[in-house]
């Protein structure tokens, strides 16, 4: 039990095959109470109800909406009393080529992945700072490190690169307040984010470049988040953990 007595908030956590829900499940198995934030009320509540143990909650929160992030933080803190862990997981992607990126593509992808990480962190950091404790883990991607080319377009690579910079700056600013901030950079993980647009040919091509010879599962990423959330990583901040089967070794 690595998270006994801890409370965690996970954005984008209601997707049934998603990394957020796999992380929520693992955290709950390790003794945490978890608040799942996502867009659809029914999905949030169903996800929270599916977790092992008691006291979890599911709340609607669009992370691109600053007021919604603040309202979610107020509501979670009223229910839990404290928040120890924040996982900025919500994200969207689009397989759009550079010259085809329109303003609506740019806004949608940058807003959820990058602006959402900023707003939700801003909503919880004052509480963590007052307690002089907290672990925040942010979802980046191998796309940020290798310049895309996996599934998401250049605007996705830029958004996830932005998350790396933002998280490292947060680690520097809030380290003295006892708050650790780290990132995870997964390779291709089998979830529904690709919206059926990942073809067998694309999958086979990607596999050729993965030394561990398989695509990742949501649970693979959940394990990295558990490490970053727990005291096992107590002296780690500003770090980036690759979860990519060796797709990018550097
Ligand atoms: P999913 O689509 O399964 O999960 C993402 C969740 O985020 C969905 O439930 C989605 O809701 C939710 N979401 C979307 N927009 C918002 C918003 N504005 N506010 C709150 N929640 C929102 O995908 P994954 O589990 O694969 O993705 C999780 C994270 O991992 C993302 O940040 C993604 O970019 C990142 N990632 C994924 C990789 C992969 O290969 N799968 C690789 C590297 C990084 P809805 O379904 O209603 O849109």
The CATH number given to whatever domain includes residue 237 is: 3.40.50.720
Taking only the tens place, the pLDDT of each residue in 188-225 is 999 998 888 888 898 899 999 999 999 999 999 999 99
Residue of 11, 15, 123, 140 best suited for mutating to test ligand 1, as the one with most atoms within 8 Å of CB: 15
pLDDT at residue 138, rounded to an integer: 99
Residue 215: inside a domain, yes or no?
A: yes
Instruction: Using DSSP bridges, classify how beta strands 179-186 and 134-139 pair: parallel, antiparallel or unpaired.
Output: parallel
* Angle at the Cα of 164 from the Cα atoms of 163 and 168, rounded to 5 degrees: 115
Residue 163: inside a domain, yes or no?
A: yes
Residue 249: inside a domain, yes or no?
A: no
Mean pLDDT across the chain, nearest whole number? 97
Residues having CB within 6 Å of any atom of ligand 1: 11-12, 14-15, 18-20, 38-40, 62-64, 89-93, 112-113, 116, 139, 141, 186, 188-189, 191-193
Residue 247: inside a domain, yes or no?
A: no
How many structural domains does the chain have?
1
Residue 1: inside a domain, yes or no?
A: no
Residue 248: inside a domain, yes or no?
A: no
pLDDT at residue 56, rounded to an integer: 98
Atom of ligand 1 nearest to the CA of 194: 41
Span 68-93, average pLDDT: 98
Q: Give the Å distance between the CA of 141 and the centre of ligand 1.
A: 12
Buried b (16+ CB within 10 A) or exposed e, 118-130: bbbbebbbebbee
Give the residue numbers marked as catalytic: 156
Domain residue limits at 138: 7-242
**Which three-class secondary structure state does DSSP give residue 153?**
coil
Atom of ligand 1 nearest to the CA of 151: 40
Residue of 9, 12, 61, 192 best suited for mutating to test ligand 1, as the one with most atoms within 8 Å of CB: 12
Atom of ligand 1 nearest to the CA of 160: 34
pLDDT at residue 149, rounded to an integer: 80
Residue 116: inside a domain, yes or no?
A: yes
Residue 43: inside a domain, yes or no?
A: yes
């Amino acid at each position: 039990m690595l998270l006994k007595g801890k409370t965690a908030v996970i954005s984008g956590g209601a997707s049934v095959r998603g990394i957020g829900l796999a992380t929520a499940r693992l955290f709950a198995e390790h003794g945490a109470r978890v608040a799942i934030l996502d867009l659809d009320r029914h999905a949030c509540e169903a996800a929270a109800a599916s977790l092992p143990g008691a006291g979890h909650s599911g709340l609607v929160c669009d992370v691109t909406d600053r007021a919604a992030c603040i309202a979610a933080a107020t509501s979670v803190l009223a229910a839990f009393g404290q928040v120890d862990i924040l996982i900025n997981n919500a994200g969207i992607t689009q397989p759009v080529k550079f010259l085809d990126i329109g303003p609506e593509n740019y806004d949608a992808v940058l807003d959820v992945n990058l602006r959402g990480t900023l707003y939700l962190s801003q909503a919880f950091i004052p509480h963590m700072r007052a307690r002089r404790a907290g672990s925040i883990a942010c979802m980046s991607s191998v796309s940020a490190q290798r310049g895309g080319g996996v599934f998401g377009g250049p605007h996705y690579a830029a958004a996830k690169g932005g998350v790396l910079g933002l998280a490292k700056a947060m680690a520097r600013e809030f380290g003295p307040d006892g708050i650790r901030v780290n990132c995870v950079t997964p390779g291709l993980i089998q979830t529904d984010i690709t919206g059926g647009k990942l073809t067998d040919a694309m999958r086979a091509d990607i596999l050729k470049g993965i030394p561990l010879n398989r695509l990742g599962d949501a649970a693979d990423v959940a394990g990295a988040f558990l490490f970053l959330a727990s005291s096992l990583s107590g002296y780690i901040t500003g770090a980036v953990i690759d979860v990519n089967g060796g797709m990018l070794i550097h």
